[in-house]
Amino acid sequence: MNNNNSRGEEHQRNKESLDSRINQTLENVQGLLKGRSIPGKVLLTRRTDQLHDSGLQEQSPTYQRSVSHSDAGTSDDMDKSLEGGVRNTNNSNSNTVVNKSRSSKLKIEKAANEVQSSEMGTRATDSARVTKFSRELSGQTVILKRLRELAWSGVPPYMCPNVWRLLLVSSELSDLGIRDMHHLRRKRVEYLDCVGQFYDIPDTEQSADEISMLRQISLDCPRTVSDVAFFQQAQVQKSLKHILYTWAIRHPASGFVQGINDLVTPFLGVFLLEYLAGSTDSWSMSDMPSEKISDIEADCYWFLSKLLDGMQNHYTFAQPGIQRLVFKLKELVSFICLSDFSVLQLLPEPVYRHMENQGLEYLQFAFCWFNCLFIREIPFHLVTRLWDTYLAEGDALPDFLVYIFASFLLTVCTLASFVLNCFTSFHH
């Protein structure tokens, strides 16, 4: 009897926890769909005089990491390079920390003072968030668990490149020893060697499969974020082809899959913040030195590899990982519709039942969501903010996507039903 009571109490706690998480996610996505940016967005007005190549070095310390990966298509053995050393605490949760020099501390403190004292036109809460990030990054060590908690609600744009580098390697930092910039340079050289070996060769030295894959990449690159003019520039298209073809050749288990081209764009946009100022609409890579372009390409390549390592079965034959998540999305939507959620009271009938009556399969619309991580569904200027949260989730990202997409789907249906009811009432 006691065991039954314990199981019942545990089930109730789990249900309450799930209900709370779903409600919170639904409320957040409602904010996005009502015309606001994603909740938690850091509203910064960037000072263009601080975004030049030399000025960036004074704003924040540079954390570098690099990766290596086997020809089998994984990068479990990747090397990371972070400026300074890395050590692991004795905490049972393995809260990893990164050591940095005192000079870097002084630089980030100076940047924090500049941000706080400048007339940025931001709210007090935004300044407070900048201060929190600056404090977290300026200590003798960076506790990545706390950094993930901060990043979940948005990262200040000029800090994104360094914070993303830390977030992407956080799961393996405990195994690192001391690294320096030599490793980053080595990985960039390795990438250039791969481009020269696989891409910059005559067609006669390529197999029929390689030629076909390169042709498909060339077709898909112009479709990548086609509503943003920057990604249609000749140099950007060339860089996308270099990254995607090199990745596909070195990951033969999947090769190039449509949708991976979209996943490069957030990295490209963030790492360009270290070199270009202003909005994406005014950016151009045509005047950038070839060395900087190569460095950006290499960083995008290695971080794309690290991201996809956690979801390899999303892009192998039949893409079983995506199919599993689509099934979980269907289950979650059914659960929510059968529960008492106030946000769904406007719906005339449960969403899942309506879809069944219409013969609509989740794979018909949700497959693209999971394949492209929602990049095609929201304005590109919001993608970076969304990916702050993605990267903060770490290894839990695939399952977290199920909650994001369920909340989006149900909120859209609720708003559509509300508008339809208003329209019907008006005409009657």
> pLDDT tens digit string along 124-176?
557 888 999 998 888 777 788 889 999 999 999 989 998 998 888 754 333 33
Answer yes or no: do 80 and 100 share one domain: yes
Helix ranges, 118-180 (H): 124-138, 144-152, 160-169
The DSSP code sequence of 6-67 is: HHHHHHHHHHHHHHHHHHHHHHHHHHHHTTPPPTT-------GGG-SHHHHHHHS-------
Alpha-carbon separation of residue 260 from 131, 220, 346 (angstroms): 35, 10, 37
Residue pair 117/138 in contact (Cβ under 8 Å)? The answer is: no
- Rounded CA separation 405/2 (Å): 39
Answer yes or no: do 60 and 102 share one domain: yes
Residue 349 pLDDT level (bands cut at 50, 70, 90): low
Answer yes or no: do 230 and 254 share one domain: yes
- The pLDDT assigned to 241 comes to 97
Per-residue pLDDT, averaged over 333-354, amounts to 68
**Domain CATH code at residue 37:** 1.10.472.80
Summarised one tens digit per residue, pLDDT across range 358-383 is 888 999 999 999 999 999 999 999 99
Is residue 1 assigned to a domain?
no
Is residue 133 assigned to a domain?
yes
- The pLDDT assigned to 129 comes to 86
Give me the percent of the chain exceeding a pLDDT of 90: 43
- Rounded CA separation 289/292 (Å): 6
- The pLDDT assigned to 351 comes to 76
Answer yes or no: do 133 and 238 share one domain: no
Residue pair 108/61 in contact (Cβ under 8 Å)? The answer is: yes
Nearest CA to 240 among 216, 268, 207, 213? 268
Mean pLDDT of the chain: 74
Residue pair 167/392 in contact (Cβ under 8 Å)? The answer is: yes
Residue pair 63/107 in contact (Cβ under 8 Å)? The answer is: no
Is residue 2 assigned to a domain?
no
Looking at residue 234, what DSSP letter applies? H
Angle 391-394-396 from CA coordinates, rounded to 5°: 120
For the cut 60, the answer to whether the pLDDT of residue 62 exceeds it is: no
Q: How many domains does the chain have?
A: 3
Summarised one tens digit per residue, pLDDT across range 232-269 is 999 999 999 999 999 999 999 999 999 999 999 999 99
Q: Amino acid identity, residue 137?
A: L
Answer yes or no: do 150 and 98 share one domain: yes
**Domain CATH code at residue 287:** 1.10.8.270
Looking at residue 224, what DSSP letter applies? T
The 3-state DSSP class for residue 142 equals strand
Answer yes or no: do 36 and 138 share one domain: no
**Owner of token pair 């999303």:** 314
- The pLDDT assigned to 403 comes to 93
- The pLDDT assigned to 76 comes to 43
Alpha-carbon separation of residue 299 from 130, 186, 208, 256, 271 (angstroms): 25, 12, 29, 19, 8
Residue pair 195/242 in contact (Cβ under 8 Å)? The answer is: yes
Task: State both tokens at 179.
Answer: 């690294």
88's enclosing H/E stretch is: strand 86-88
| Last residue in a domain, options 121, 154, 175 | 175
Burial class (CB in 10 A: 0-12, 13-18, 19+), 143: middle
Is residue 92 assigned to a domain?
yes
Answer yes or no: do 55 and 164 share one domain: yes
| Last residue in a domain, options 244, 277, 311 | 311
Is residue 282 assigned to a domain?
yes
Give me the percent of the chain exceeding a pLDDT of 70: 62
- Rounded CA separation 265/107 (Å): 29
Answer yes or no: do 187 and 148 share one domain: no
Q: Say what the alpha-carbon torsion angle 73, 74, 77, 79 is, to the nearest 10 degrees.
A: 80
The 3-state DSSP class for residue 226 equals coil
The partner residues of 179 in beta bridges, in order of sequence, read 84
Answer yes or no: do 151 and 202 share one domain: no
- In degrees rounded to 5, what are phi and psi of residue 163? -65, -45
Answer yes or no: do 400 and 417 share one domain: yes
Residues with Cβ < 8 Å from 401, sequence gap 6 or more? 325, 369, 370, 373, 374
Is residue 152 assigned to a domain?
yes
| Last residue in a domain, options 125, 154, 175 | 175
- Rounded CA separation 319/406 (Å): 20
Residue pair 190/75 in contact (Cβ under 8 Å)? The answer is: no
Nearest CA to 185 among 60, 304, 66? 66
Range of the domain at 139: 49-175
**Owner of token pair 């960039």:** 188
Is residue 420 assigned to a domain?
yes
Query: How big, in percent rounded to 5, are the helix, strand and coil portions of the chain?
Result: 65, 5, 30
For the cut 70, the answer to whether the pLDDT of residue 112 exceeds it is: no
Answer yes or no: do 186 and 169 share one domain: no
- Rounded CA separation 413/409 (Å): 6
Is residue 6 assigned to a domain?
no
The partner residues of 99 in beta bridges, in order of sequence, read 141
Looking at residue 179, what DSSP letter applies? B
- Rounded CA separation 293/74 (Å): 25
What beta strand segments (E) does 266-403 contain? none
- The pLDDT assigned to 184 comes to 73
Answer yes or no: do 38 and 55 share one domain: no
The partner residues of 142 in beta bridges, in order of sequence, read 98
Residue pair 243/297 in contact (Cβ under 8 Å)? The answer is: yes
